[in-house]
Amino acid sequence: MPHPDISLPRLIAHRGLSAHAPENTLAAVRAAHATGCTWVELDVQLLGDGTPVIWHDAGVRRCSDASGRLADLDLPTARRLDVGAWFGDAFRGERIATLAEMLKLIDECGMGLNLELKVNRGRSAAALVEEAVPAALDALPPERLIISSFNDDALACTRELAPASRLALGVLFEGIGRGWRSRCTELEAFSVHADWRRLSRRGTTAVKDDGYALLCYTPNDPAAFAHLWQWGVDAAISDDPSRFISHLP
């Protein structure tokens, strides 16, 4: 199956450099770039007014100075949130990033993006895909983009928008159990993204033998992760990738 010619790095910064900057912000991507990361993983979902923004949770309490549901905010209201102060004073005043702003920054930095379509409970997968995927396809070349999701509806809608040769799809798994292969085949996936703690040697081998790239989230202890490189994992999506550099095989 033809796929974009993606030169996958060993290390990808999870939610930006989220060990050192507030996750999923422009600051976190700038920090990742500054430490030499070439790819980032970020989450995208829609505000209540349909604007795609870079955000992980269904609510805003954990990563802002307010509370409530993201789905209840429009862009002007969301922009009033401080999304940096919770992490540290150095980031006070950081604002929620729209997808458009983030794509511009990533392209300016020449970075690659694993954009995770985050379909939280009660939200529409189709609406998210419609707003987020064409924007990402317009902004970045196919060699620097992987769209991933746990949500099969989101992945299927995404595949309808672009063929495998034009868009790399990553299928997210917690554990790689029965049915993983049919899910990946139907979606013409480029990559499998698995929770590293639940990955077996047998599962790793099966995924690699079928020709998929294998990315693991979210290891932060390079010593505990070392055997996974030996098994054939391609990339680690970590909050702190620089910790892994001296442990790469």
Q: By CB under 5 A, name the binding residues for Mg ion.
A: 43, 116
What are the two backbone dihedrals, phi and then psi, of residue 130, each rounded to the nearest 5 degrees? -60, -40
Instruction: State the binding partner of 237 from ligand G3P, Mg ion, none, CB within 5 to 8 A by kind.
Output: ligand G3P
Please name the amino acid found at residue 243.
Answer: R
H or E element at residue 66? none
Instruction: State the binding partner of 55 from ligand G3P, Mg ion, none, CB within 5 to 8 A by kind.
Output: none
Question: Is residue 41 close enough to count as binding ligand G3P by CB under 6 A?
Answer: yes
* 56 catalytic per annotation: yes
In the bound complex, what is the minimum distance in angstroms from residue 75's beta carbon to Mg ion?
A: 22
Please name the amino acid found at residue 127.
Answer: A
Instruction: State the binding partner of 35 from Mg ion, ligand G3P, none, CB within 5 to 8 A by kind.
Output: none
What are the two backbone dihedrals, phi and then psi, of residue 157, each rounded to the nearest 5 degrees? -60, -40
- Report which residue's Cβ sits closest to ligand G3P: 217
| Count of other CB atoms within 10 angstroms of residue 50 | 12
What is the 8-class DSSP label of residue 175? S
Selected catalytic residue, list 3, 14, 20, 193: 14
Q: Provide the CB-side half-sphere exposure for 49 (13 A, CA).
A: 10
Q: Which of 91, 217, 225, 244 binds ligand G3P (CB under 6 A)?
A: 217
In the bound complex, what is the minimum distance in angstroms from residue 2's beta carbon to Mg ion?
A: 27
Please name the amino acid found at residue 28.
Answer: A
Per-residue exposure over 121-133, b if at least 16 CB sit within 10 Å of its own CB, e if not: eebebeebbbbbb
Beta bridge partner(s), residue 116: 43, 148
CA 115 – CA 44 distance, rounded (Å):
7
In the bound complex, what is the minimum distance in angstroms from residue 174's beta carbon to ligand G3P?
A: 9
Closer CB to Mg ion, 43 or 239, in the complex: 43
* 14 catalytic per annotation: yes
In the bound complex, what is the minimum distance in angstroms from residue 137's beta carbon to ligand G3P?
A: 19
Relative to beta strand 39-46, strand 52-54 is: antiparallel
In the bound complex, what is the minimum distance in angstroms from residue 125's beta carbon to ligand G3P?
A: 15
User: Per CB under 6 A, which of residues 135..194 are in contact with ligand G3P?
Assistant: 148, 172, 193
Closer CB to Mg ion, 77 or 131, in the complex: 131
Q: Which of 43, 94, 239, 240 binds ligand G3P (CB under 6 A)?
A: 43
Alpha-carbon dihedral angle through residues 29, 35, 39, 41, given to the nearest 10 degrees? -50
Closer CB to ligand G3P, 20 or 56, in the complex: 56
Q: Which chain residues interact with ligand G3P by CB under 6 A?
A: 14, 41, 43, 56, 116, 148, 172, 193, 217-218, 237
Catalytic residues: 14, 56
